[in-house]
Chains A and B, each alone.
Chain A
Amino acid sequence: MSDVPASAARSTWNASDWHDALVVEAYAETPTARTIRMRLPASAALPQLPELVAGQHIDVRLTAPDGYTAVRSYSLASAAPGGVLETTVEELDDGEVSPYLVRGLDVGDRLEIRGPIGGWFVWREEEPAPVQLIAGGSGVVPLMAMIRAHEAAAHPAPFRLLYSVRSPEMAYYRAELEELARVSPRFDLDWVYTRRAPSGWPHAPGRLDVTGLAASVQTLGTSALTFVCGATPFVEFVADALVRAGRDPARIRTERYGGADGA
């Protein structure tokens, strides 16, 4: 590598390197979650962010005044080109990093980021199959990147999102999802409310069960590629139920949020 000019080495983006990102926008997504948009400095001297793939995540590093650092992974909510990185962070009880990102961080602050990372829990335009998305709570974030990429591409394969939330106000991206479901011929949306449903909702609140799951996934049928993301018990239940119902395990991709501990 000694014969490579330093300038050429610097211009190469490496997913293992830390990069400064500027917070350009931050707003409450729900009472406990915040959407954060970051931009990388536009400079010809700096490496350029590689093309994002819908479903990827980044690592975020915070540094305290004494040099102590903490790193966590966050899924990106958009893979749109243009150098903006968007995520939504849920504040976790007893969390170390998430309370700072949800309540401490300001527009104009900088964060260090690494990535984008991941080549499995992703959706690409070349994928011809219908796509069934199943999210629990904050697990909708990487699926939102897929929904937005699919819509931006006016992709012909149908997409369907089954989204389980505790109550209406806890849903991420509600207005955008409902508008998309209304206007897009390619996107449908099913809600599950586990604790409290909107007034006039035809079902009593309750956890997603085998019947509800089957009713939602039957529309796209067995050819669908399925992405499931949420807390571990939710993902275990959904993936198990789909396999028991005869779905091909190889067509089900999962991403699980582990315990809230320490995040």
Chain B
Amino acid sequence: MGLFSPGFMGRRREPVPGLPPGQHLVTDFPVLSIGPTPRVSTEEWRFSITSESGLMTTWTWDEFQALPQEDVTVDIHCVTSWSKFGTGWRGVSLDTLLEGVDTGAGFAMARSYGGYTTNVPLDELRGGKAWVAHQFDGAPLAPEHGGPARLLVPSLYFWKSAKWVRSIELSTRNDPGFWEQNGYHMHGDPWREERYW
């Protein structure tokens, strides 16, 4: 435990179940982005998965919408220390998207419209743990929150849930993405406080 801050009482007295160490709860939805918000129409939107052998599967917006949709309610945790409980999303499970992809890769690089990248172990994308989400709270996902569609990986800090996601590339190597090259953790488990290098 650290040193005391004389006179500081804080707001919360009881531990909050489900809140990872070093996090605090918010009720709004802060926006953090590295640059201007990309504006991508659903007409021009494409999403693809490329295996380590170079085979690419691509979906148009209509094809993506025709896939089985899931409604999920999850807690999200941002590395800047806010957490938000019970967020509601609609999207397509990565299990569905990876169904026809033949791969022995261990890692995935998500790439976004606007140039953002983030690396995620493939294990974290499988087993009902990750989605490409296109609705938040029952409405189309707003551009500043990553619309038309973003990656949703609630088991990791939220910078791994790439906004404006356009592709996932599978690889046998764990290459660092954007924030991972700029001081943030390669894995990013909030329960282990994997925040920085």
Contacts and interface: CB of A to CB of B under 8 A. Distances in A.
Interface in B139-172: 144
A239 B36 contact: yes
Contacts of B33: 254, 256
Contact of B6 (A59, A109, A240): A109
Interface stretch (A63-71, A161-169, A215-223): A63-71
Nearest to B144: A236
Given A70-B24, A242-B36, A16 B196 contact: yes
A183 to B, nearest CB: 33
Given A96-B10, A104-B8, A258-B82, A110 B3 contact: yes
Interface in A211-263: 232, 236, 239-240, 242-243, 249-250, 252-259, 261-262
A64 B12 CA distance: 10
A15 B196 CA distance: 7
A100 B9 CA distance: 9
A111 interface: yes
Interface in A82-106: 96, 100, 104-106
B142 to A, nearest CB: 10
Nearest to A96: B11
Which secondary structure characterizes the binding site on chain B?
Answer: loop
Contacts of B82: 258, 261-262
Contacts of B6: 106, 109
Contacts, number: 130
Nearest to A242: B36
Contact of A63 (B1, B35, B114, B193): B1
A64 B1 contact: no
A181 to B, nearest CB: 27
Contacts of B13: 66, 68
Interface in A44-87: 59, 61-73
Given A63-B3, A67-B1, A112-B2, A240 B37 contact: yes
The 7 closest A-B pairs by CB, nearest first: A258-B30, A259-B28, A119-B182, A239-B36, A62-B5, A261-B28, A15-B196
